[in-house]
Amino acid sequence: MSLAESVLQLIEDSAKTNGFTRVRTVWLEIGQLAGVEAEAMRFCFDAVTRGSIADGAALEIIATPGSGRCTDCGRTVAVTARYEPCPACGGYAVQIAGGAEMRVRELDVE
C-alpha cells in the first residue's frame, strides 16, 4: 500500500512540474525480483488513486526479467528468485544485476 502511495506521490510531483490535471495511463516497471505482487499493486493503486488526478487511470505493469552474475563461476545467468543457487555451478554467490527495479516509467496525461 505504501508503495502505491509512493507511486501517486511521484505522479503528483510530475503533475506540478509538467502541468497536467488528469492521468490516463501509468506505466510501472516492476522487476521480477523486486518482491512486488503485480495484482496487489493493482488493487492498492486503485484504492489510493481514488479521488486523485489518477482516478480511474489504467495501470500497465512491465515485468523486467531477473538476471545476475555468479562470482564463483563468472557467468551471467537468468535469475527467477533471489538467494537461489547459481543454475550453472550451484554456488550461492549470485549477485543480482537486473530485475530488482520498481520504477514509474511513463505517464499518459491530459
Q: Do the Cβ atoms of 8 and 52 come closer than 8 Å?
A: yes
- Number of Cβ within 10 Å of residue 19's Cβ equals 8
Give the CA-trace dihedral at 40, 42, 45, 46, to 10 degrees. -120
Q: How far apart are CA 110 and CA 100, in angstroms?
A: 31
Residues 37-56 that bind other proteins (CB under 8 A): 37, 40-41, 44, 48, 51-53
Residue 94 as a binder of other proteins (CB under 8 A): the answer is: no
Q: Which is nearer to other proteins, 88 or 102 (CB)?
A: 102
Smallest distance from the beta carbon of 79 to other proteins, in angstroms?
A: 13
Which parts of this chain interact with other proteins (CB under 8 A)? Answer: 1-12, 14-16, 18-22, 24, 28, 35-37, 40-41, 44, 48, 51-53, 82-83, 92-93, 101-110
